[in-house]
Amino acid sequence: MTETHQRGDLGPDQFEGKERDRKPVVLFLCTHNAGRSQMALGFFRHLAGEQAIGWSGGSEPAGRVNPSAVAAMREVAIDISGEYPKPRTDQVVRAADVVVTMGCGDACPVLPGKRHEEWTLDDPAGRDLAAVRPIRDEIERRVRGLLDELNVPARA
């Protein structure tokens, strides 16, 4: 059993050869999977609830989630403190319906037949809480827009 499954996250192997109840699967990728993609995943899971599936990963995972990102999300009552940076795998990318990349450049794959979006956002690495708040707020705006495009009603 992988660490992902021990922590209770859904993994792509759970969908091999199975129907996913038509829930959209969105993968958020950034270089270190420690800031932007973790905040996006936090918003996505909070707003989508059980109506969609969200994952995150990085091309060069950091050792831990950025503490300023954790604090910024805590301010909006979303706890990402239990998350950890995960590597991006081709299997995860293939299993996703939508792949959202945030600054990982050529390290993030683009596969034919997948919906890809590049969100150009400042990297919160090395920034204090005050500097991370506007990044967090822009990520929330974009996640809400994505959910709307996917016809997934955002929870209040």
The answer to whether the CB of 107 falls within 8 A of the CB of 60 is yes
Asked if 108 is an active-site residue, the reply is yes
Among 104, 121, 139, 143, the active-site one is 104
The encoded tokens of residue 70 equal: 């954790």
Asked if 104 is an active-site residue, the reply is yes
3 state DSSP class of 151: coil
Among 108, 121, 132, 135, the active-site one is 108
> Which secondary structure element, helix H or strand E, spans residue 26, and what is its range?
strand 25-30
Asked if 30 is an active-site residue, the reply is yes
The encoded tokens of residue 147 equal: 């959910």
Among 26, 30, 39, 152, the active-site one is 30
The answer to whether the CB of 115 falls within 8 A of the CB of 27 is no
Residue positions annotated with a catalytic role: 30, 104, 108
